Structure 1
């Protein structure tokens, strides 16, 4: 063994493998959220305060929030506030996955805040909506930020009211003092909740790996079966390819319905078994055709491509695009075919949307169609250095001799 050069090269090989797959950790380590879209609804109509005129605390709060989250040092801000007219519009945007959360100031906010300085105080309220199903990590971050903002608003209101009372030299009554210890009612609501049986909202990502690996396995097995056949003309090769696709369709049904059944058996909440099974079936079929198309041109040399896609793509699937670096978001995540699977499953799991052939499903079908076209073209490719005619004549002679 000491005379074998591979023995001394092995440490270098280990270092290269560690370095290569260590790169897959970069997106998770360097998470830096930026421009998280959060809706801001200000329905406050204002109030008239003696000696001050009309005030609108809703406008004051919105201006303060935007100022505090706007970057002044050239860096991208953490939050991207989006003005929305009403709560109804916000709910539609949350269902369409446009916002990770929302802050809503009701129309009587100024009136109730000004009442804190009177003998009949009323506690003002704000509503915080968290779009929990959109992305677990981003939802948790949004919840922390909005709750911190609520605490800061409460402290600000308390300070403002006490300063106003001090200027007027007004003594506090018991009911006022009680309210001033907690002068703001913050109502937090999770929208499109992930429930208690969805692996904390990560079920769509968790289902990707078994489906991806099984699609690789199915494509490789059928590739070996087709590769052992002897063709005497292109027509036979085309028939074999179509049979391969037909077999892949059967595998898709087995994988789609099988994975949904196993997930349900393991306790993952499957909201609609048929819808999720059909979507997984189409997803498997798209992945199967994509892998088969590559194998038809590159052979087994193409397998490392899909293994690398798995290792480099899997960490990104659990992240929100706003939490990725520009490079990973634009040049890796945007080109991952499996992201359409995760996005489609999120809609089915958490956004109460049924199966349809639009949206992510249509994209997966286009991937399948494009892969099928590339697969058909492989039937026409020239084999080796000989012409097709010579190649098939040689195959025919070998088959006859055999």
Structure 2
């Protein structure tokens, strides 16, 4: 057949395998996420027993740290951070310093000692889960802390029963009830995600429409600019300036319309104006970045941003501590859409209004660099052969 005389047709199986291989790499972070040095705060306010100079909370802390010390890769699963007070912990949770916190009150040892008396009382600890910080890592921290507490309860229950058995003493109803849970944990959700938030994934869900809108707008701009065939530097500079100003107008339209759509579809938007303006900033940053790349290499640049989409989307829902060093340091750390997701998370779950925080500043810098590169492209040499191909595409449209 004549088709098989074409080299591309013959090489198609290898091309398909290569494409599958490249895009399958995006699956790796989701296959077996394990925690690496997940920051967990711990507050030990236990006063101990003055008579025997014993602090039972120290033993509890040591045991919890040991049972949660390693993940399946043999690395520390949690990074325990000692904090002075519960108030400091709450401030750290609001500043996104910890995914969870364990607070041991001052009467912990006293309550533990009471288990051997006729009037027993279970010790209580408080576990704070920083829900808004990530959709998966806080839940993982909660499970690990819960398992650690349950494991300690089983050990303490066995020890208490063994002591009573050796003494030949009878266990009262109150003691039996206390032995069931020598340590009672109270779980408190800090920066709660609430309802209508896609289980905390709403910031991740919102990046794709904004990203695709900025990409498609730039494709249209590139085709129209090439169709006008501006060979003069001044004409190209004017066209780029018009693109920047029109992009800013579109950014405002995109920000407010997207926020209205999201709220209409049922997503909880606590700060409508701040969210709309932040989305406008993010759209303009992406728009200028894509425009800058297109202005130098044309439609071939679309491959870069499509790959960004496929590789970035699976990573954005994971906390950095759940990723391998390669994906955490070499991909997630510089993904431009990560700053959109982080900024939306602060707006949605941390009750922070629009401000010049880290995410906003980075997006502004991305837009500023894109603006400079886009304007500079007006002074490069004309790409006539490539422009002719893109002009043909524009004519076909």
What is the TM-score normalised by the length of structure 2?
A: 0.91
Q: Which residue, out of 20, 23, 26, partners 1:24?
A: 26
> Is residue 373 from structure 1 mapped to residue 375 from structure 2 by the alignment?
no
Higher alpha-carbon Rg: 1
Shift of 1:238: 1.8
The equivalent of 1:100 in structure 2 is 99
Shift of 1:81: 0.8
Q: Which structure 2 residues correspond to residues 329-344 of structure 1 after superposition, within 5 A? A: 329-344=328-343
The equivalent of 1:196 in structure 2 is 195
The whole-number CA distance in structure 1 between the counterparts of 2:72 and 2:175 is 42
**C-alpha contact (below 8 Å) 2:68/2:144 kept by paired residues:** no
Shift of 1:139: 1.7
The equivalent of 2:46 in structure 1 is 44
The equivalent of 1:173 in structure 2 is 172
SS in 1 for 2:103: strand
SS in 2 for 1:228: helix
**C-alpha contact (below 8 Å) 1:218/1:251 kept by paired residues:** no
Shift of the 74–360 alpha-carbon distance from structure 1 to 2, 3 Å rule, reads closer
The whole-number CA distance in structure 2 between the counterparts of 1:72 and 1:223 is 49
SS in 2 for 1:189: strand
The equivalent of 2:392 in structure 1 is none
The equivalent of 2:393 in structure 1 is none
Residue-by-residue CA offset, 1:287-316 (whole Å, 9 max, x unaligned): 000000001100111110000111011110
The equivalent of 1:303 in structure 2 is 302
Shift of 1:168: 4.7
**C-alpha contact (below 8 Å) 1:219/1:248 kept by paired residues:** no
Note the aligned Cα RMSD (angstroms): 2.0
The equivalent of 1:396 in structure 2 is none
SS in 1 for 2:40: strand
The whole-number CA distance in structure 2 between the counterparts of 1:73 and 1:272 is 41
The equivalent of 2:265 in structure 1 is 266
> Is residue 12 from structure 1 mapped to residue 11 from structure 2 by the alignment?
no
* Structure 1 stretches of at least 4 aligned residues deviating more than 6 Å after TM superposition: none
The equivalent of 2:109 in structure 1 is 110
**C-alpha contact (below 8 Å) 1:40/1:83 kept by paired residues:** yes
Deviates more, 1:26-35 or 1:370-379: 26-35
Shift of 1:155: 1.8
The whole-number CA distance in structure 2 between the counterparts of 1:291 and 1:243 is 16
SS in 1 for 2:53: strand
The whole-number CA distance in structure 2 between the counterparts of 1:186 and 1:149 is 11
Shift of 1:384: 5.3
Shift of the 89–375 alpha-carbon distance from structure 1 to 2, 3 Å rule, reads same
The equivalent of 1:279 in structure 2 is 278
SS in 2 for 1:136: coil
The equivalent of 1:77 in structure 2 is 76
- Number of positions where the alignment pairs a residue of Structure 1 with one of Structure 2: 382
The whole-number CA distance in structure 2 between the counterparts of 1:242 and 1:146 is 56
Shift of the 198–22 alpha-carbon distance from structure 1 to 2, 3 Å rule, reads same
The whole-number CA distance in structure 2 between the counterparts of 1:24 and 1:232 is 41
Residue-by-residue CA offset, 1:228-247 (whole Å, 9 max, x unaligned): 33546433322221111011
Residue-by-residue CA offset, 1:57-84 (whole Å, 9 max, x unaligned): 1111112222333359993211111111
Shift of 1:339: 0.3
The whole-number CA distance in structure 2 between the counterparts of 1:157 and 1:88 is 30
Shift of the 211–232 alpha-carbon distance from structure 1 to 2, 3 Å rule, reads closer
> Is residue 129 from structure 1 mapped to residue 131 from structure 2 by the alignment?
no
The equivalent of 1:207 in structure 2 is 206
The whole-number CA distance in structure 1 between the counterparts of 2:137 and 2:71 is 24
**C-alpha contact (below 8 Å) 2:64/2:149 kept by paired residues:** no
Residue-by-residue CA offset, 1:252-301 (whole Å, 9 max, x unaligned): 11111111111111101111111111110000000000000001100111
**C-alpha contact (below 8 Å) 1:226/1:244 kept by paired residues:** no
- Residue ranges of structure 1 left out of the alignment (5+ in a row): 386-402
SS in 2 for 1:55: coil
The equivalent of 1:35 in structure 2 is 37
Shift of the 156–287 alpha-carbon distance from structure 1 to 2, 3 Å rule, reads same
SS in 2 for 1:133: helix
SS in 2 for 1:370: helix
What is the TM-score normalised by the length of structure 1?
A: 0.90
SS in 2 for 1:90: helix
Shift of 1:108: 0.3
The equivalent of 2:241 in structure 1 is 242
Shift of the 355–384 alpha-carbon distance from structure 1 to 2, 3 Å rule, reads closer
- Residue ranges of structure 2 left out of the alignment (5+ in a row): 385-397
**C-alpha contact (below 8 Å) 1:138/1:320 kept by paired residues:** yes
**C-alpha contact (below 8 Å) 2:35/2:71 kept by paired residues:** no
